[in-house]
Structure formats: C-alpha cells, structure tokens
Amino acid sequence: MKILHNTTVITPSGHALRTLHNHSLVFDDCRVLALGPATDFQPRVAAGEFDEAIAGERHLVIPGLVNTHHHLYQSLTRCLPAAQNERLFDWLLNLYERWRHLDYEAVNIAAKVSIAELLLHGCTTTSDHFYMFPRGGDVKMEAVLDAAEQLGIRLHLCRGAMTLGQSRGGLPPDDCCENDQDVLADCQRVLDAYHDTSDYALRRIDLAPCSPFNCTRELLRDTAALARERDGVLLHTHLAETLDEQRYCLERYGCRPVRLLADLDFLGPDVYLAHCIHLNDDEIGLLAKTNTGVSHNPTSNLRLGSGIAPIRELLAAGVRVGLGVDGSSSNDGGNLLGEARQALLAARTPAAMPKSTEGRVPCPSPLKAGAGMPGAMPKSAGGGRGHASDDAGQLFPVADAFKLATVGGAACLNRPVLGHLNPGAAADFAMFRVDDIALAGAIAQDPIAALILCAAPRADRVYVAGREVIHDGRITAFDESELANQMNELVAARFRGD
C-alpha cells in the first residue's frame, strides 16, 4: 500500500470537477483505496504505515488520461514530405506505399516510441487501431502487445483489417489487404489469447474493420456478430471523416456512412467511432439513440483539412465523446493534454459554434462533469442538433476539454474505473510539477486551466496500475535517447520519403 501525500488532486467526481488542495491519495497495485485531506493521513505516514510515501507538495495530480484512437505504428511516417499537404485519400495513397513494407520489428519499435510519447504526457490508457497486415509479411498483433507490456501502458488493442483492395473498388493496394475469413479467424485467436474482461484489465482486445472504403460490408457485419458473442468486446472503426468518404458510400452503397453502419448492426453501446465530422441532425440523433460513442480527433482532422466534428451537438444530444490523438502520421505527436487544448480551440471557432435555433433550450456546459461514471451520463435528447444544444454565444468550457480526455474517454471505452481518482478507480495518475516554467503563474490562477490552456509540459511522474512508468520526466522501461536513435535509424533506412 502506497500514499501520495499532501498534494493537489484534480478529479471528476459525480457531476463535479474538483480541485482538492492538501490532499493525499492511497493506492495499491490495482486501485485507489482512499482520497482525503492530508491531515487525516499524517499520523499513519509518520508511523511508517505505508510501503512508500511519495511527497506531493510540489505536484499537481490528475487521473491518467484516456486516448480513444491511435495508430501506434504510424510514428514511422510522421512528417513524411509526400503526405504533409494532402487530404485523407491522397494522404493514404502516399502512405500505403511505405506501410506495405512493415514488418514485426518496425511495428514493435514504432509502437514503443508512440507509447512512450503518450506516457510522457500523462496518458495511461490508449486504444490502438492496428489494421496494416501486408501480404507475405510477419506482422502480428503481438508486436504492439509486447511494446505495451514493456512500457506499462493500459491498452485497448483493436484488431483492424482492410479487405477491399483497389481491384475490387477499394482504396488500398491489394497487397495491403487480407481476406475476410482470415481476419475473422485471427480475431478469434487474439481474443482467446489476450482479451481480459476484468474491471482493472491492462489489456483488452477490440475488433475494428478499418473503414467503409477499405472493408467489405460482410466483414463489418460479421465482425459485429463475432464481437457480440464474447464478453466485453468493443467495436471500432473510422466513420464520416471526409466528404470523399461520404461520396464513396453514396456511390457504392447508396447511403451515407452512418446509415451503412446502422444497416449492418454496427452501432450501439459497444461501439465507438473515430472522427464523425460530417453528420446531419438525424445521424447525431441516431448515435444518441443507439448510445454509440465517438472519438474526437481534432488535430488530425485539422491537419488533413477534413473538418471539425460537431462535438457540442453530440454532447448535448447525450452521445459519449472521448478524445484521440490519432496516428502519428496525421498528428505528428502524442500529447493528449495538447489534444484537449486543440479540442477546446476547435470547438470555439465560428464554424464549430452551434447554430441558434428558435425555442432551443440553452445549455451553458455541454459535457456534465463525471460523464462516463456510473449515474453521470446525460440522457439522450434523441433528436440531434434540432433539440438541445449550447447557447450559440457560449464558448466551449475549459473544464469540458479536460473531461473529454478523462471521463469522456473512459465512457467511450466502457471503463468506469478510468478517468477519475475516487476510491475504487484504477491507480492510474500523472503528476505535473507546479514549478514547471510552462505553467508558471497559471497554476496560481487555475490549475485546470493551466494544464489545458498553457503549453502542456511533460509529466514528472506517471503511474499505471500503481506502477511508476515515468520518473523525473523520463520513461523507466528504456533509455529514451537510445530508443529515439533506433527509431531514427530505422526510418532513415526504410521509411524515409526521398
């Protein structure tokens, strides 16, 4: 049993977001055991009752952040010149040419780099949508699982797939695609070997056909059926990311992307969808009615010129919304606090402000504190933008951006023990120094706003399941410089764009 003693704790709790000064956090190798005023624990600390007492006076402590969408292997091709100024479809066509040469080693090293970057900025849980299995290669899901285990992050590993190649009307080259039956068989294999349904699991397997323009309808349908045969298996895919995707679905399937998934029974409380930018009112209402989650990825969406997701309308309708950094080839970084800031700024642009509707009931804060925790989810309005939303003049609140990265992400992944630090929560937290120059002055004004509005610094210490994985701003599993040099050498030899 350990104690983080006499510190400042920020945590969602019920319908409040609390900043608790001079508090202590008691935890073990699994969960938070107690949270209360430091004075209540001082006699026990003085008596040496704890296995470890961590001095917290110079720290600000937050729940481990929850990242709901990533492609860890894509750090191999971040900042690739040929993909820097392209929209999604052309961006993908350029990148497929590099990704078709993936092997186990490259995926493993890239995953380590991406996971290290997440941990260094306070993210303790990530979803990884891994869908690239070139024909004839040795790439396996274990390349990512091994990296996650070594670094200590909590992982939702999505067994993705592409099965609709260019010869059949899809976007990717045929040699980057698998066939449906092989995909389903490997889904069964990794579920049997690695899926952990326990509340505090460090590893879960989700099933995730890549998107409507590179997967067959049959794979989407059959994957949904397979997932629902198992306990606690979530479904994930990209959806409504670009107008090109919308046109593709209309021409090929005669319907918009959301309707396609609805027809294939790929919506529901066990589903979370990445992007969801191009939605109409009826589609927002359908996501709310089916309790389908959404992973918001603002940096990737802005970098690729895809648009800005209507998260204010989604939240007002009662949709579960989390935050994702997306792959390192479309974000070029893995800082989830930075992503929260980007979400805040994107939601405040005129293009993203809700349209004023006569008779609409104003809602000054679209995301209730504690969303995703038991009993705290807002009820669905069932009608999308036309029923309940923010007042058009109200800017997206700082506190709500923080919640997207914590309880919002936990709600998307159906993990109520994540995203907060109340007793019973997973022992996942990040510690930031109050004397970090990046936060100087801001900490004295508002600790929550300091983390969201300022340039987010590295965390000083990070714990996952009670285990320290970041110490003094450095990863504990590897020599950070050696890992970076290894990655640079690999990219220069095999994945550089020249």
Burial of 422 (0-12, 13-18, 19+ CB in 10 A): middle
**DSSP classification of residue 439:** G
Residue by residue, DSSP assigns 219-260 as: HHHHHHHHHTTSTT--EEEEES--HHHHHHHHHHHSS-HHHH
Nearest to 342 by CA among 227, 455, 177: 455
More confident residue, 242 or 370: 242
| Beta strands 235-239 and 59-63, pairing class | unpaired
State CA 63 to chain mean position distance: 14
Provide CB contacts within 8 A for 113, sequence distance 6+.
Answer: 75, 483, 484, 487
- pLDDT tier, 354 (very low <50, low <70, confident <90, very high otherwise): confident
Average predicted confidence (pLDDT) for the chain? 92
- pLDDT tier, 15 (very low <50, low <70, confident <90, very high otherwise): confident
- CA 471 – CA 66 distance, rounded (Å): 20
Specify which residues 60 forms β-bridges with.
Answer: 8, 432
More confident residue, 209 or 368: 209
User: Stretch 68-96: mean pLDDT, rounded?
Assistant: 95
Provide CB contacts within 8 A for 64, sequence distance 6+.
Answer: 122, 123, 124, 125, 154, 418, 419, 426, 428, 429, 430, 462, 463, 464
Residue 355's pLDDT is 63
The pair of structure tokens assigned to 329 is 């080839």
Residue 37's pLDDT is 98
Residue 357's pLDDT is 37
Residue 384's pLDDT is 33
Letter for the amino acid at 301? Answer: N
User: Stretch 291-305: mean pLDDT, rounded?
Assistant: 97
371 pLDDT above the threshold of 60: no
209 pLDDT above the threshold of 70: yes
183 pLDDT above the threshold of 70: yes
Three-class DSSP category at 41:
helix
Nearest to 153 by CA among 290, 336, 289, 279: 336
User: Stretch 455-462: mean pLDDT, rounded?
Assistant: 95
From residue 53, give the alpha-carbon distance in Å to each of 394, 435, 476: 43, 21, 19
- pLDDT tier, 117 (very low <50, low <70, confident <90, very high otherwise): very high
Residue 378's pLDDT is 35
User: Stretch 357-362: mean pLDDT, rounded?
Assistant: 34
State CA 473 to chain mean position distance: 22
User: Stretch 115-124: mean pLDDT, rounded?
Assistant: 98
- CA 425 – CA 414 distance, rounded (Å): 13
CA angle 387/392/394 to nearest 5° reads 115
User: Stretch 136-145: mean pLDDT, rounded?
Assistant: 96
Can you tell me which residue has the tokens 């993909």? 83
State CA 198 to chain mean position distance: 20
The pair of structure tokens assigned to 236 is 């994930």
The string of pLDDT tens digits covering residues 332-342 is 999 999 999 99
More confident residue, 13 or 125: 125
- Percent of the chain scoring above 70 in pLDDT: 92
Kindly report the CATH number that applies to the domain delimited by 2-63+419-475.
Answer: 2.30.40.10
Query: Dihedral of CA 345/347/352/353: which sign?
Result: negative
Helices assigned H by DSSP within 210-356:
217-227, 243-253, 257-263, 281-290, 298-303, 311-316, 336-347
Three-class DSSP category at 106:
helix
Can you tell me which residue has the tokens 């959301």? 258
Specify which residues 31 forms β-bridges with.
Answer: 426
CATH classification number, 65-412, choose in 3.40.640.10, 3.40.1160.10, 3.20.20.140, 3.30.70.870: 3.20.20.140
Residue 351's pLDDT is 78
- pLDDT tier, 456 (very low <50, low <70, confident <90, very high otherwise): confident
- pLDDT tier, 370 (very low <50, low <70, confident <90, very high otherwise): very low
- Contact, 171 vs 89, CB < 8 A? yes
User: Stretch 367-383: mean pLDDT, rounded?
Assistant: 36
Residue 496's pLDDT is 87
State CA 58 to chain mean position distance: 28
- pLDDT tier, 14 (very low <50, low <70, confident <90, very high otherwise): confident
The string of pLDDT tens digits covering residues 387-440 is 233 445 689 999 999 999 999 999 999 999 999 999 999 999 999 999 999 999
- CA 53 – CA 46 distance, rounded (Å): 10
218 pLDDT above the threshold of 80: yes
| Beta strands 321-323 and 293-296, pairing class | parallel
- Where do the DSSP E strands lie in 121-234? 123-130, 154-161, 203-209
Per-residue burial over 197-210, b = 16 or more CB atoms within 10 Å of its CB, e = otherwise: eeebbbebbbbbbb
- pLDDT tier, 359 (very low <50, low <70, confident <90, very high otherwise): very low
Letter for the amino acid at 192? Answer: D
How many beta carbons lie within 10 A of that of residue 495, not counting itself? 20
- pLDDT tier, 16 (very low <50, low <70, confident <90, very high otherwise): confident
- CA 443 – CA 451 distance, rounded (Å): 8
Residue 393's pLDDT is 60
Q: Residue 450, CB half-sphere, CA atoms under 13 Å: how many?
A: 23
Nearest to 100 by CA among 129, 76, 128: 76
Residue 377's pLDDT is 33
CA angle 246/248/254 to nearest 5° reads 85
